[in-house]
Amino acid sequence: QSVLTQPPSVSAAPGQKVTISCSGSSSNIGNNYVSWYQQLPGTAPKLLIYENNKRPSGIPDRFSGSKSGTSATLGITGLQTGDEADYYCGTWDSSLSAGWVFGGGTKLTVL
Partner 1 sequence: QVTLRESGPALVKPTQTLTLTCTFSGFSLSTSGMCVSWIRQPPGKALEWLALIDWDDDKYYSTSLKTRLTISKDTSKNQVVLTMTNMDPVDTATYYCARILSYGDRIDYWGQGTLVTVSS
**Site of interaction with partner 1 (CB under 8 A):** 2, 32-33, 35, 37, 44-47, 50-51, 56, 88, 90-92, 94, 97-105
Q: How far is the CB of 90 from partner 1 (least distance, A)?
A: 7
Q: How far is the CB of 47 from partner 1 (least distance, A)?
A: 5
Q: How far is the CB of 2 from partner 1 (least distance, A)?
A: 6
Give the residue with the Cβ less far from partner 1, 14 or 100.
Answer: 100
Give the residue with the Cβ less far from partner 1, 2 or 17.
Answer: 2
Give the residue with the Cβ less far from partner 1, 15 or 99.
Answer: 99
Three-state SS for the chain is: CCCEECCCEEEECCCCCEEEEEECCCCCHHHCCEEEEEECCCCCCEEEEECCCECCCCCCCCEEEEEECCEEEEEECCCCHHHCEEEEEEEEECCCCCEEEEECCEEEEEC
